[in-house]
Amino acid sequence: MSRVAKLLGEWNMVLSRRFSRRQVLRIGAAASAAAALDVTRWTFSVSAAGAVEAVRSEWTFREGLPSDGDWESPVLAPETGFDAIDLSWDAESVNDDAVRVNLRVRAKDGVWSDWIDCHPDHHGEATPGTRRFVAPILSRGVAAQARVSAVANAGLRELVVGALDTSTIAVGGSLAEAAASATIIDGLIISRAGWGADETLRFENKNPKGRMIWPPSYAPIEKIIIHHTVTDNNSPDPAAAIRSVYFYHAVTRGWGDVGYNYLVDWQGQVYEGRFGGVNVIGGHALQYNVGSIGIALLGNLDLTKPPQVMLDSITSLVQLRASNVDVTEAADFQDLNDCPNLCGHRDVMSTSCPGELCYPLLPTLRGMIAGTAPVYLAPPKRTEGIEIISCSIGPATVYQGNLLAVRMRVRNAGTTPLEGGGPKSGFIYEQGQTFDTVGFPKVQDEYRITMQPVSWTGTPNPYRWGLGEPLLAGETRDIIGYVRLQSLRRDEYRAGIIKEFVAYQFTDIAPSVITVASPPVGPVAQTRDPNSRFFGITGHNVPEPFVSYWDANGGVERFGYPLTEAFEEASETDGGRYVTQYFERARFEHHPEYAGTPDEVLLGLLGSETTATRAKEAPFRPIAPFPSTSNRRYFDLTGHSLSSGFKSFWDANGGVQIFGYPISEEFKEASDTDGTVHIVQYFERNRFEYHPDYAGTKDEIMLGHLAREVLIRRGWMKRSK
């Protein structure tokens, strides 16, 4: 293994552990230079005439990216030059506009292009989440440079720039010879072999005898959707351009094939796209892939009209491959009313594709295909539709008895309200339960988000969460669902959306491999990290910034000793995933969104979480308001009071920032830790206990061992005798 590969592996291991931000920064400083560039080469046969070597250079930036403002990368110059550049980035914000990325390319003569505005790619069957991809910019060059502009709270975490060289570097032959010997399908279409498709990319581990990543499936053609690739016009090597699109879809995006059904170059040559032949379902328009074919025109048709020969070839292709479609008509399609049978990508998705100078030519194209005058059809109307803005499933490692969270942001993309229902966002399933067994059967026309492990063989999509109140036209909403996992195993989970008794709207979204591991409570070895502290009494390490927070806010007297290592956990409060660590009396949470502020470390809302089902018990019911005095205070926000010794302790030791607001009155309760009865009062983040045996000392009032009790209830620890 090379030193670069080794450092990259160590870096990925660090990210998977998700310790504190400061730990990541320290390791990143050492690894970023080595991890900046990774070069991959592969050779594949194109025919008996020979083989082609392709080279991909990939730069990954994680440090120095802007938290708010602008940033420019160094000049990136791969050793072989390139014929395509692609980008992706990962940010906390799910808003496409939170991060703007531009790119420029330097040609062989040293001249730089203008800065190119790079838009997130929404062409294919995407996996919504925090990573955004840009379709490859097909432009030959010897160097590139990226420019990033981020808004406040964008949370840009990573930028990846990839340069791909698929030009004709022949080994024992040439692509020209290969193309000459390749099959021309039906006298019109250049086969995949003709443009040099590496068919091994369609299989796991590039093994043609193994599992196909995206097996072909089929549907009758109802719509023809026209795209443009937003690349150089009149490319001198269209086959290399197509190979770049293929690599981007198959490898960078992970689909296992090119998404377009067909591609057409500037000379009117037609190329076979998606593997599988006639009526194969492509990946070019998200939920509108089934029942459509996608035809991509090589070029940037925002800048130049497509040449007549390109339109002629589209006409011949549609007459050959979609002769059943009447392009002069419009018909309902999925959630679209009166969708033209030949339409542009912009008619079905929010995009400018197929370009400002191509879209107005669609009426002419319809007429050419039908042998009539131009046919003008209005864009479709979406009366009902739901779209996914983002979706994530995690954390990747769930400790036994902990929660797996699915978080999906959805938008009503139609003009009529969408029916909601239950269970509501935040509902927790126990592993093995289903929506039926917990009392939420199917209701006609209700929309629900779904989650299912691949290994599941029972009721399809057993875990479902409703939208709650009807989702109004244009409204966006976050839905969070939880499943408490118990079985120690590894499985893949996938999300989706269903309209009950109608159809699945989305399936196989955000596929995520989840490992359920034994709880991290057993003693471990002392870490070599000099900024962490090892507590021999419990056998656990406390990393930064937790150890600084522990020191500054009362240490062992306030929080007790660590009971676990730091690990990533889904929050029952907001569905976020945070690095947490349990101490005897509190749970520490790392909030990178508040980095550099006093709130970078917060105490988890253990009081609220552990009493969520006790709202009807007398101590938790709000009391009548009263005027506050120096000895007794009323809190309007929660409807509870604080008085005498508990009030003095709360005032003197951090108040609302440390403990939160009171959520109960004082009452007697037996401790789950040792069974002892105390006078207690619950706060959002903890529980106060009165210990009369320590009257007059600093220990007269203590924080209860609430975190220990949480771990006892999970089965991670045993109750003290």
pLDDT at residue 394 is higher than 90: yes
Strands (E), 93-155: 99-106, 116-118, 131-137, 143-150
Q: How confident is the model at residue 688 (pLDDT cuts 50, 70, 90)?
A: very high
* H and E: helices and strands count for the chain: 14, 41
Residue 26 is predicted with a pLDDT of: 27
Are 162 and 79 within 8 A, CB to CB? no
Q: Is 195 helix (H, G, I), strand (E, B) or coil?
A: helix
CA distances from 228 to 106, 135, 319, 441 (A): 23, 11, 20, 44
Rounded to an integer, the average pLDDT of 79-96 is 81
Instruction: Tell me the C-alpha distance between 513 and 75, whole Å.
Output: 36
Cα dihedral 304, 309, 315, 318 in deg (nearest 10): -80
Instruction: Tell me the C-alpha distance between 237 and 269, whole Å.
Output: 12
Bridge partner residues of 568 (DSSP): 579
Q: What is the DSSP string of 492-537?
A: EEEEEEEETTTEEEEEEEEEEEEEEE--TTS--PPPS-TTSEEETT
Q: How confident is the model at residue 167 (pLDDT cuts 50, 70, 90)?
A: low
Residue 361 is predicted with a pLDDT of: 97
pLDDT at residue 128 is higher than 80: no
Could you tell me which residues come within 8 angstroms of residue 344 by beta carbon, excluding any fewer than 6 positions away? 225, 226, 227, 353, 354, 358, 359, 362
Report which of residues 611 and 164 the model is more confident about. 611
Q: Which of the residue ranges 49-63, 145-159, 483-497 has the most confident prediction, judged by mean pLDDT?
A: 483-497
Judge if pTM exceeds 0.75.
no
Ranges of each domain in the chain: 36-165, 208-382, 386-517, 608-714
Residue 287 is predicted with a pLDDT of: 78
Q: Is 368 helix (H, G, I), strand (E, B) or coil?
A: helix
Q: Quick: pLDDT tens for 520-546.
A: 999 999 999 999 999 999 999 999 999
CA distances from 656 to 9, 268, 637 (A): 42, 70, 12
pLDDT at residue 126 is higher than 50: no
Rounded to an integer, the average pLDDT of 259-287 is 93
- Bond from prior residue into 470 cis (ω within 30 degrees of 0): no
Rounded to an integer, the average pLDDT of 124-153 is 77
Instruction: Tell me the C-alpha distance between 438 and 440, whole Å.
Output: 6
Q: Quick: pLDDT tens for 663-678.
A: 999 999 998 777 889 9
Report which of residues 621 and 23 the model is more confident about. 621
Q: Quick: pLDDT tens for 38-64.
A: 666 555 444 434 445 678 888 999 888
Rounded to an integer, the average pLDDT of 228-250 is 86
The class that CATH gives domain 386-517 is mainly beta
Give the CATH number of domain 36-165; options: 2.60.120, 2.60.40, 3.40.630, 1.10.8. Answer: 2.60.120
CB burial of residue 705 (10 Å; 0-12, 13-18, 19+):
buried
Residue 55 is predicted with a pLDDT of: 81
Token pair for 405: 């969270």
Place of tokens 């939920």: 287
Residue 39 is predicted with a pLDDT of: 64
Q: How confident is the model at residue 236 (pLDDT cuts 50, 70, 90)?
A: confident
Q: What is the DSSP letter of 283?
A: S
203 alpha-carbon distance from chain centroid: 24
Q: How confident is the model at residue 13 (pLDDT cuts 50, 70, 90)?
A: very low
Give the CATH number of domain 208-382; options: 3.40.80.10, 3.90.1150.10, 3.30.465.10, 3.40.50.300. Answer: 3.40.80.10
Q: How confident is the model at residue 464 (pLDDT cuts 50, 70, 90)?
A: very high
Q: Which of 553, 519, 548, 523 is nearest to 533 (CA)?
A: 548
* Burial annotation 211-232 (CB, 10 A radius, 16+ → b, else e): eebbeeeeeebbbbbbbbbbbb
211 alpha-carbon distance from chain centroid: 25
Q: How confident is the model at residue 228 (pLDDT cuts 50, 70, 90)?
A: very high
The alpha carbons of the chain give a radius of gyration, in whole angstroms, of 30
Q: Which of 463, 493, 492 is nearest to 480 (CA)?
A: 463
Could you tell me which residues come within 8 angstroms of residue 644 by beta carbon, excluding any fewer than 6 positions away? 631, 632
159-173, 428-442, 629-643: the lowest-pLDDT one? 159-173
pLDDT at residue 487 is higher than 90: yes
Q: Quick: pLDDT tens for 170-194.
A: 333 444 444 445 579 999 999 999 9
Q: Quick: pLDDT tens for 298-319.
A: 988 988 999 999 999 999 999 9
